[in-house]
Amino acid sequence: MFTTLIAIGTFVLGLVLGAIGGVYYLKNKMTNMQMSDKEIQTMARSMGMNLNQKQLMQVSKRMQSANNNKTKKKK
C-alpha cells in the first residue's frame, strides 16, 4: 500500500516538474526567436497581409527591439 502511494506521488511530482520545465524551455526559446524577412513575409501573407519592403523593415526592427528589451530585463 505504501509503495503504491510513493509511486503515485513520484508520478505526480514528475508531471508537475516536467510541466514547469516545459514552460520555462518554451519561454526561453520564444524570447530568443529570430525570424528572417522571408519568414515574416510568409507569416504576414498567411494572415492576409501583403507587406512592402518598408513595412517589412519596420516589423523586423520592432521584433529586434522587442527581443533586446526582453534580454535586458532578464539581466
Say yes or no: 43 and 8 in one domain.
no
Host domain of residue 24: 1-31
Count the domains in the chain: 2
Say yes or no: 46 and 63 in one domain.
yes
- The pTM score is 0.49
Say yes or no: 25 and 55 in one domain.
no
- Which residues, other chains included, contact 67 with Cβ-Cβ below 8 Å and sequence gap of 6+? 31, 32, 33, 34
Q: Report pLDDT digits (tens) over 12-30.
A: 999 999 999 999 998 887 7
Q: What is the mean pLDDT of the chain?
A: 86
For residue 40, give the C-alpha cell: 515574416
